[in-house]
Amino acid sequence: MITVLRLGHRKERDKRVTTHVGLVARAFGANQLLISTKDEALERTLNDVTDRFGGEFQVKTGVKWRKILKNWEGMIVHLTMYGEIIDDILPKIPKKENLMIVVGAEKVPGDVYKMAHFNIAVGNQPHSEVAALAVFLDRVLKGKGLQMDFQGKVRIIPSKKGKKVVEIE
């Protein structure tokens, strides 16, 4: 079970990036997204994708994230450019455990660095929570997230040219 926690989401300013955090979380193999700020529009957008393209991805917004992190039964990793090098930490992450991945938007509160078992850098350069999450999920799942069959109502048939989409009744 893999959960992504998005901290510091600002409804108007971050709506596109947080949507992309959710889309990447789902498509790369996470099971749920928690967002610190209540945002029903965002929930609807992501649930609509899951409804059409399949899978059992869950979205909850307006969560009490400190309480969730304090009571988390499993490993917590925080993705930050200030962290330790991803390749050094990956072997220390147990395979079958409940994994929580925290990504920020605006400045991440200092206690998150302490609550996380590992602060992990996907390279020590500033870039994006979307990129950091994609690379981390792909590495931790060894590419298997991208091979999942989502059993959706809408399915894309991989094609050399053009777009092939089938709609399952």
Q: For binding to ligand SAM (CB under 6 A), which residues are involved? A: 79-81, 103-105, 107-108, 121-123, 125-129, 132
Task: Give 59 or 132: the residue with its C-beta nearer to ligand SAM.
Answer: 132
Nearest approach, Cβ of residue 43 and ligand SAM (Å): 21
Nearest approach, Cβ of residue 103 and ligand SAM (Å): 4
List the one residue out of 132, 136, 133, 146 whose CA is nearest residue 28: 146
For residue 29, give Cα distances in angstroms to 18, 131, 136, 166, 167.
Answer: 17, 15, 11, 22, 22
Nearest approach, Cβ of residue 139 and ligand SAM (Å): 12
Nearest approach, Cβ of residue 31 and ligand SAM (Å): 19
Task: Give 125 or 159: the residue with its C-beta nearer to ligand SAM.
Answer: 125
Q: Which residue is nearest to ligand SAM (CB)?
A: 104
Tell me which DSSP letter residue 28 carries: T
Task: Give 115 or 154: the residue with its C-beta nearer to ligand SAM.
Answer: 115
A 10 A CB-CB count for 135 gives: 17
CA–CA distance, 158 with 73 (Å, rounded to integer): 39
Alpha helix segments (H runs only) across the chain: 15-27, 40-53, 65-70, 86-89, 110-115, 129-140
Return left, alpha or beta for 8; rule: phi > 0 is left, psi -120 to 50 is alpha, else beta. Answer: left
Task: Give 54 or 108: the residue with its C-beta nearer to ligand SAM.
Answer: 108
Instruction: Write down how long the chain is.
Output: 169
Task: Give 125 or 147: the residue with its C-beta nearer to ligand SAM.
Answer: 125
Nearest approach, Cβ of residue 69 and ligand SAM (Å): 14
